A and B are shown apart, each in its own frame.
Chain A
Amino acid sequence: MSDRVRLTVFGVSLAGLLALLVWGLAGLPDFGDFQGAYGQLLNRVAVPERSTTDVVTAVNFDYRGFDTLGEEFILFAAVIGVASILRTLRGERIRRPDDDAAGRHVPETSLLVRVTGLGLVAPTILVGIYIVAHGHQTPGGGFQGGVILATALLLIYLSADYMTMRAVGPTWLIELAEGLGAAGFALIGVGGLVFGTAFFENFLGKGTPGELPSAGTIPLSNTAVGLAVTGGFVFMLSEFLQQALTHRRVHHHRRGGARRAS
Chain B
Amino acid sequence: MNTKIFKYAAAALMAISLTACEDWMDTESYTESNTANFPTSIKDADMLVTAIYANLNHAASQPISSYYLISEIASDDRFGGATIEDPSMVAIDHMMVSTDTQFDFLWKIHYRGIYRANTAIEGITRLLETANDKELANQLLGESYFLRAYYYYELAEMFGGVPLITTTTEEINAPRAEADVVYAQIGSDLVNAISLMSNKKYNEYVEAGHATKWAAEALLARVFLFYTGFYQKESMPLADGKSLSKNEVISYVDDCVQNSGHSLVGDFRNLWTYTNEYTVNDYAYTKGVTGIDGNPLLWAGNSNAEEVFAVKFMNFCGYTYPYQEGYSNYYVPFFGFKGTNGGENTFPFGNGNGFGPVVPDLWDEWLSSEPNDLRRQASILRIEDEMDMSQFIASSVTGQYEETGLYGKKMMPVLSYVAYQKQGTWVNSIFWAAYPGFDKANNYGMTQWGGHFQDLMIIRFADVLLMQSELKDDAEGMNKVRARAGLPAVNYSLEALQRERRHELCFEGLRWGDIRRWHIAETALKSQDNTTMQNAGKTVVQRDGRYQARYTATNGFFPVPLAQIQLSNGVLTQNPGWESADARYARWDFE
- Is the A/B pair a real complex? no
